[in-house]
């Protein structure tokens, strides 16, 4: 079942949205928040170390997941879990593989993996004592490129039938 999380509303009544976009030029480190990213079809985030094609082209994490870590005393912010896109207002890890999301006006991604194994020596785990990406992060393939910025809407375009997920 899809859950849209209760979140502070934008003054104009916007639903789920992008909170931050982040990149890094090295793997295994926290990412730097930037004003915008460009998603490249079947590649990933232009300029990001993880942009290599494959199943995990873009990583997404909900701000609500980061807030859980903050509640446990971790001083963390968007990008600290090496996610490219931080969202608010949508339970990303409840979406099945195959779900298509529109990010902003143009970009579209398809969720290809939920969670991941945390590698040995993970800089994020070392920094904050835990890494929520293995449990609550999602990965996606880029099927339509475009620019994504903080404040952009996140729209669930299509959820596959349960038998296809």
Buried/exposed 26-48: b ≥16 CB within 10 Å, e otherwise? eeebbbebbeebbbbeebbbeeb
Q: Which of 46, 42, 41, 57 is nearest to 24 (CA)?
A: 46
Domains of the chain: 17-158 (2.40.33.20)
What is the pLDDT of the chain when averaged over all its residues? 85
The tokens for 84 are 């490219």
pLDDT at 124: 61
Question: pLDDT tens digits, residue range 147-162?
Answer: 999 999 999 999 998 7
Confidence of residue 12 (pLDDT cuts 50, 70, 90): very low
Question: pLDDT tens digits, residue range 45-90?
Answer: 999 988 888 899 999 999 999 998 888 788 889 998 889 999 999 9
According to DSSP, the residues that pair with 114 across neighbouring strands are 138
Structure-model confidence comparison of residues 155 and 8, the more confident one: 155
Backbone torsions φ then ψ of 128, nearest 5 degrees: -110, -5
Q: Out of 10-19, 91-100, 106-115, 135-144, pick the least confident.
A: 10-19
């Amino acid at each position: 079942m899809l859950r849209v999380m209760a979140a502070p509303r934008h003054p104009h009544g916007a639903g789920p949205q992008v909170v931050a976009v982040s990149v890094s030029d090295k793997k295994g480190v926290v990412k730097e928040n930037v004003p915008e990213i460009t998603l490249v079809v079947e590649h990933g985030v232009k300029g990001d170390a993880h942009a290599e094609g494959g199943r995990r082209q873009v990583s997404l994490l909900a701000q609500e997941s980061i807030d859980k870590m903050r509640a446990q005393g971790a001083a963390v912010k968007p990008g600290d879990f090496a996610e490219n896109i931080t969202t608010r207002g949508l339970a990303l890890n409840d979406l099945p593989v195959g779900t298509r999301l529109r990010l902003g006006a143009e970009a579209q991604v398809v969720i290809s993996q939920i969670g991941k194994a945390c590698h040995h020596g993970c800089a994020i785990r070392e920094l904050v004592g835990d890494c929520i990406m293995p449990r609550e992060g999602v990965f996606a393939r880029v099927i339509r490129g475009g620019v994504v910025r903080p404040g952009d809407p996140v729209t669930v375009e299509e959820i596959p039938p349960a038998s296809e997920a």
